Structure 1
Amino acid sequence: MTDPQLPPPSGAVPPVPTAPYGAVPPPPPGYQPAPPAAPPVYAAPAVAPPVYSAPTPAPQAAPPGAYQVPVGGYAAPAGAYAVPETTPRASGFLGLLALILALVAAVVTPIVVGVAGFEIGRRIPQGITTTNDDVLSVLSPARDQVLWAELSFWTGTLLGVAAIVMGIIAIRKKQGRGAGIGALVVAVLAPAIFFVVLLIAFSTGSAAGFVEFAS
């Protein structure tokens, strides 16, 4: 054992003083403590929603030697003729119907009144020169023919008025404009045709009645 008051012998390591229990030994000279690390920040990663797309069909390869159309089709050459766009044409049924009604009023009803007028003149030949004021008694021998003449007159009148109205509408709406104009002309001439045919038929029937009466 050595005396603690004596210097340590050469080559001997001085004893390290023992720190009391619980004390932190001092750092060695020149040691710098590291700065305290910041607590880690945890952020939830942004997850994008899955995008589902319809699978595109794979193009089928053309057989070898087949003619292939370029993608997008053929482009029209500059300055090529293009068909102009046309508006849908209006139907001409209304004008045609008006023309049919006018023809019936100008042709059919005069034929009916011509037959009836001839029979009226033949059955009452004295009706032209009679002085009797009672017209009904004079026309009584040809009651049926007079009724047919009246029916043909009113039928032609109604058909003519309808033809005029439809013709005007057809001209305004351009639904058979030419037929509508023709219907107006024929419907206006129909009354004149009716009375001319009636007068001729009645006169012819009266002449035939005079001949039969004289014989």
Structure 2
Amino acid sequence: MANVPPPENNPPQPLFAPPPQYGQPHYGQPPQFGEYGQQSQYGQPIPPGFAPYPPEATPKKTLGLVAMIIAIAVLILAALASIVIGTAVGPIANRSGNSFSFNTATLTPEQARAFGATGILIVAQIALGSVAGIAAIVLGIIAAAKKRGRSFGVVAIIVAVVAPIVAFIVYIVSIAATLAPA
């Protein structure tokens, strides 16, 4: 028989160990979270099972700023295009009483050639202005909703909504200023 130490020196081992409690580390592993008695960065003890969260980064305001820049560019370019179009249409429009009309069928060949570039500008103003204006509104709404430049986003929404109104007023004023006398 082998030498077996007396039972006093070798206490009986349990057949199985109870499972660790929820949130408790397994035997031999360091704790994952703070223990009572540990101090957090704020001087408060950290309760077990909770880890301190890192501070949230403030969202960047780039989205709202981009939306605002697009909206301001649309406003300025639409107003400039309205001036060019209005001054080109005004001299060849027909004035009658309190209104005016414009008919391309009555243009001479020279006037039609000159007005061709203005027609391209009209299409570009409507198409590009609409696409860029809608993009500025959508980006402004997203920026305001996600707090990624909320104030810039609100300004972008307002400017993009006001841009076609301003462009139309500038167009009418520039036509009226260049209309031939009745």
Name the TM-score class by shorter chain: 0.5 to 0.7
Percent sequence identity is 29
- Gaps of at least 5 residues in structure 1 are 1-40, 45-75, 79-84
In the alignment, does 2:105 pair up with 1:137?
A: yes
The structure-2 alpha-carbon separation of the partners of 1:171 and 1:119, relative to structure 1 and needing over 3 Å to count, comes to same
| TM-score, reference length from structure 1 | 0.52
Maintained 8 Å contact 1:163/1:187: yes
1:191 deviates by 1.1
Maintained 8 Å contact 1:93/1:176: yes
1:134 deviates by 8.8
1:38-94 deviations in Å (ceiling 9; x for gaps) = xxx6659xxxxxxxxxxxxxxxxxxxxxxxxxxxxxxx9x8xxxxxx6420111111
Q: CA RMSD in A?
A: 3.1
Maintained 8 Å contact 1:139/1:146: no
**Structure label with greater radius of gyration:** 1
What SS does the corresponding residue of 1:128 show, helix, strand or coil?
strand
Query: Which residue of the other structure, out of 199, 207, 210, is the alignment partner of 2:172?
Result: 199
Q: How many residues align?
A: 128
Query: Which residue of the other structure, out of 139, 162, 166, is the alignment partner of 2:139?
Result: 166
Maintained 8 Å contact 2:78/2:164: no
Residue matched to 1:96: 65
Runs of 4+ with >6 A deviation: none
Residue matched to 2:95: 128
Maintained 8 Å contact 1:117/1:149: no
Partner AA of 1:191 in structure 2: P
Query: Which residue of the other structure, out of 75, 83, 86, is the alignment partner of 1:106?
Result: 75
The structure-2 alpha-carbon separation of the partners of 1:159 and 1:42, relative to structure 1 and needing over 3 Å to count, comes to closer
- Gaps of at least 5 residues in structure 2 are 5-40, 44-53
| TM-score, reference length from structure 2 | 0.60
1:77-119 deviations in Å (ceiling 9; x for gaps) = x8xxxxxx64201111111111111111211121122112102
